[in-house]
Amino acid sequence: MAGTPPALTLLLLTALSPLAAEEVVLLDFAKSHGELGWLTHPYGKGWDQLQNVLNDSLIYMYSVCNVLEGEQENWLRTNWIYRGVAQRIFIELQFTVRDCNSFPTAGGGSCKETFNLYYAESDVDYGTNFQKRQFKKIDTIAPDEITVQEDFTARNVKLNVEVRSVGPLRRKGFYLAFQDLGACVALLSVRVYYKRCPAVVRGMARFPETVAGPDSQTLAEVRGSCVAEAVAEQAPALHCNADGEWLVPIGECLCRAGFQSLEDTCQACPPGTFKAAVSSGDCQPCPPHTLPAPAAAAACPCEDGFFRAPEDPPEHPCTRPPSPPQAVTALGLGAAVQLRWAPPADPGGREDVTYSVTCEQCWPESGECRPCDGGVRFSQPPRGLTGTEVTVTDLEPHVNYTFTVEARNGVSPYSHLHSVASATISVNQTEPPRVTSVSLDGRTATSLVLSWTVPLRQQSRVWKYEVTYSKKVTELDTLKPTPPSHPSLSPPSTSPSTSSLHPCPDPHQPPIRATSILAPISVTSIPAPSMSLPHISSIFAPPMPPLPVHDPGVTLPCPQVDENSYSVLRCEGTSVTLPKLSPATAYVVRVQALTADGHGAFSPQHEFETLPEGSEAMASAAVITGSVTGVVFVVLLLTALLYILQRRRRSRPRQSAEDVYFSKSDQLKPLKTYVDPHTYEDPNQAMLKFTTEIPPSFITRQKVIGAGEFGEVYKGTLKRGRKEVPVAIKTLKVGYTEKQRVDFLSEATIMGQFCHHNIIRLEGVVSKYKPFMIITEYMENGALDKFLREKEGEFGVIQLVGMLRGIAAGMKYLANMNYVHRDLAARNILVNSNLVCKVSDFGLSRVLEDDPEATYTTSGGKIPIRWTAPEAISYRKFTSASDVWSYGIVMWEVMSYGERPYWELSNHEVMKAINEGFRLPAPLDCPRPSTS
């Protein structure tokens, strides 16, 4: 740990080192002072209790030393020892053994330097009844050091200490026994105890004292409870091993808000400090603009006028709304206003200042004021502005506008004060509307049908529209006519990119006085008289007599047009037909709106071309020819389709009712052949080929709905895109063997090869992470036998037969796949909410045993013989024919609402009855054809 601070190193060593075990003593011979009175066998020979002095202390011991008497078998048995809660006991022996060489003539070589340790469990005390066959050997005890003759003479005894363990123990008590086969041994101490993990507080969690487990290879998980004022996101746990040591901590408790940790306890934060969240941190002083907090505070309250937004961390100072915006000004630009302001002098201690602009319009004549209507447009959304300017357009003339700018920040919603500033401006004239686009609706060799658009809000202000058109001049790309000198027809403004075309003065139109719109203006106008007919005028040619126009009910005069002139057409609607045009000729067109306040700007010029002469007749002929050809083609196509369908009907073989039932769309596909995953050298390759790996994050386990052969079965959900679908989740239990893992995943490999409406559907597997899982579709009604028992008498015969037909369809599919199920029974049929039955339970290898109460056995449990065909029992050969026998038993189960086949007969009696010709009788109310 180079570079690690010493304090951190100590903390790491403390966290990683196991906590010492406690020993609970069940027997201590050394402390009994010889009062135990153990049993010796044979009585009066062999072991004997002696007194001696060791280190100036009187000690008691059991000793045996018959090395000179030939073959020996001397037993010393303890009294009955109550086990209590112990699952594994430890036996500590202190003893001495003399060297056989100390006895030169010792029994002709029968001298030993070891003895044996035995134990026997019992629920009662047998007293003096001693039977050697009751005892099981624990170990042969050999000394590390032997007391030789010189040591014995010098009274320098070599003391040995050995410890052995026994477990698991299941009876109420036990005996220990020591067998001597010709050694010179002295037992000075026998101490029997069990270990437990002591009660401890670790990671702010209390763990109770826990008896060590019986198996030295396993860890017992113990849940802890948090100390007062502490909480845990994940339940804290420690693991107690067989030696009584705490290991492998999981999770921890943390002091909740307002409390800090101090020596494995949670103490309240002192006044003036706070702790905002569940954490291991310490309390902190209150931030600026807050009041002193009381004890155990999770946050400090804000001062008057200061607030804290929900997203503000409690560690940050409290803030307040900003001051009003500064220097709000409104600059008029005709029908638009540019609104500007400066940021507030005090942002309130925050950086999230935004602005909201509201508008109010007032009419000077009436004094009426109201919020601006929806026609007023802002260059940016008027709420949540981060800049300090905005442009407002589409304002009405002769109206006073008041714009209010409000500065806001994250705490403004919590204050009743509003930080606002206003500016007022009068708008006396607005820009006349402008035609935004011109489109071609239709054309002939001598006319063009045009239409155009104007902003909806300004349509009511338009008096008429003026359409200017002329032949396209090859020498110039744009039309540049001489503008008229009459002031009443001059547009309010022009731009270099769009030249204006002006018609001759209209004698019926009164003069209009117009000024610039670059600033707020006054417009004086005389209402134009209503006109029943629009007029066409020519600047370069005298007016022509009126000519009809294609607009319904409108008659317009039209001039003679040549290449050096342009024409102007006035109309009231937003569409017009330009008549008397030259064939195959390009025309340049522009449109402007006329209002009482002046003329709007011209639209961009558009170019349209008339059709060539005679093209209309050709187009009509082409349309007729195409229509006739299309009708003939459709008739021929329908005739061909009818012929093909008739041929198919005649060639289709007659189907039986069963064929119709089993001809679902997914069964019309070519059937595959089942592949046994155990034929693969590496079963994992088979699993990768036939299953889909699902990430564990897509799966949610909700509740346990059963326990299978390999582990628990859960109901859960599987994320599929944005949806969550219910699924069943089979898990592999902890502590599995490699064979169990292969068998578990083989079941998924088998299911992954099937695709049928009546076979349980595999969604996928989790094989790269633990726990291993098999994900299948969720069947709401569970196993068929249990479901029928719960719903006894609720279904009609037709519904029951429908269930059987579904099972038969699934089994026929399996038979065509060359798969033999071997365990078809109602308990292995699952039912969904629509009463569709699906075959399940695949992939278990079964071998018949000789046990008369068992039948064929899986790797995890025995399957009753009641569903198995006689030939499969006798010859251990399973085929689709044996599955048919099992299907007959399933039929009986369904029609009897889940009754147990052969009732209470034993398996042996069932086999005997079947071999003698006995068959199950028809259930009550069962249709006769089903049992024939």
Task: Say what the pLDDT of residue 273 is.
Answer: 93
Check whether residue 358 and residue 456 sit in a common domain: no
pLDDT band at 123 (very low <50, low <70, confident <90, very high): very high
372/234 same-domain check: no
**Residue 539 pLDDT grade (very low, low, confident, very high; cuts 50, 70, 90):** very low
The answer to the question of residue 874 being in a domain is: yes
Q: Among 178-192, 312-326, 866-880, whose mean pLDDT is lowest?
A: 866-880
Cis amide bond preceding 42, omega within 30? yes
Shared domain for 769 and 838, answered yes or no, is no
Q: Is the same domain home to 715 and 812?
A: no
In percent, the amount of the chain with pLDDT more than 70 equals 79
Sign of dihedral through CA atoms 206, 212, 217, 218?
negative
CATH of the domain at 687: 3.30.200.20
pTM of this structure = 0.40
Residue 135 has pLDDT above 90, yes or no: yes
CA 454 centroid distance within chain: 52
pLDDT at 6 over 50: no
804: three-class secondary structure by DSSP: helix
- Per-residue model confidence (pLDDT) at position 148: 82
- Residue 290 belongs to some domain of the structure: no
Q: What are the structure tokens assigned to 312, written together?
A: 């503000």
Total structural domains in the chain? 6
Determine which one of 180, 597, 785, 823 is catalytic.
823
What's phi and psi for 285, nearest 5 deg? -65, 155
Domain assignment present for residue 319? The answer is no
- Pairing relationship of beta strands 160-166 and 89-97 according to DSSP bridges: antiparallel
What pLDDT, on a 0 to 100 scale, did the predictor assign at position 285?
94
State the CATH number of the domain containing residue 792: 1.10.510.10
Statement to judge: residues 788 and 761 lie in one domain: no
> Is the same domain home to 874 and 771?
no
- Name the amino acid, one letter, at 656: S
Same domain as 442, residue 422:
no
pLDDT of residue 179: 94
Mean pLDDT of 48-71: 83
Q: Is residue 562 part of a domain?
A: no
Asked if residue 706 belongs to a known ligand binding site, the reply is yes
Residue range 409-440, pLDDT digits in tens: 999 999 998 999 999 988 766 667 778 789 99
Query: Does the residue 744 lie in any domain?
Result: yes
If you write DSSP's letter for every residue of 165-210 in order, what string do you get?
A: EE----SSEEEEEEEESSBEEEEEEEEEEEEEEPPEEETTEEE--E
Task: Identify whether residues 26 and 83 lie together within a single domain.
Answer: yes
* Residue 73, domain member (yes or no): yes
180 closest CA partner among 345, 313, 96, 67: 67
Q: Please give the residue range of the domain that contains residue 589.
A: 437-473+567-609
pLDDT greater at residue 32 or residue 278: 278
pLDDT score at 789: 93
Question: What average pLDDT does the segment 106-122 reach?
Answer: 82
pLDDT confidence tier of residue 515, bands split at 50, 70 and 90: very low
The predicted model gives 74-84 an average pLDDT of: 93
In a domain, 74, yes or no: yes
Q: CA distances (Å), 842 to each of 441, 732, 773, in order?
A: 71, 16, 15
Amino acid symbol at 205:
A
Q: What is the mean pLDDT of residues 852-870?
A: 58
Q: Is 734 helix (H, G, I), strand (E, B) or coil?
A: coil
Tell me if 220 sits within 8 A of 239, measured CB to CB: yes
Q: Is residue 619 part of a domain?
A: no
Residue 243 CB neighbour total at 10 angstroms: 17
* 705 annotated binding-site participant: yes
User: 729: number of CA atoms within 13 Å, CB side?
Assistant: 23
Do the annotations mark residue 336 as ligand-binding? no
Mean pLDDT computed over 96-106: 80
What does pLDDT average to over the chain? 80
Q: Final residue of a domain: which of 583, 609, 635? A: 609
Residues 409 and 441 in one domain: no
Of 197, 224, 241, the last residue of a domain is 197
Q: Which residue has the tokens 């010889």?
A: 34
**What is residue 245's predicted lDDT score, i.e. its pLDDT?**
87
pLDDT tens track for 309-325: 999 999 999 999 999 99
Q: Is residue 758 predicted with pLDDT exceeding 90?
A: yes
- Spatial distance between the Cα atoms of 424 and 329, rounded to a whole number of angstroms: 8
- The CATH number for 589's domain is 2.60.40.10
Same domain, 206 and 93: no
Give the number of other Cβ atoms within 10 Å of residue 399's Cβ: 17
Q: Name the helix (H) or strand (E) containing 252.
A: none
251: CATH: 2.60.40.1770
Confidence of residue 662 (pLDDT cuts 50, 70, 90): very low
pLDDT at site 615: 67
Question: In this structure, how many other beta carbons lie within 10 angstroms of the beta carbon of residue 205?
Answer: 23
pLDDT greater than 80 at residue 4: no
Do residues 730 and 877 share a domain?
Answer: no
Predicted local distance difference test score (pLDDT) of residue 540: 33
Tell me which of 643 and 521 has the higher pLDDT. Answer: 643
Angle between helices 880-895 and 797-816 (to 10 degrees): 170
Same-domain check for residues 214 and 247: yes
User: Domain ends where: 169, 197, 225?
Assistant: 197
Q: Is 215 a catalytic residue?
A: no
709 is in an annotated binding site: yes
For residue 115, pLDDT over 70 is answered with yes
Q: What is the mean pLDDT of residues 500-513?
A: 37
CA atoms within 13 A on the CB side of 600: 28
Burial of 36 by CB count in 10 Å (0-12 exposed, 13-18 middle, 19+ buried)?
middle
710 is in an annotated binding site: yes
* CB-CB neighbours of 387 under 10 Å: 10
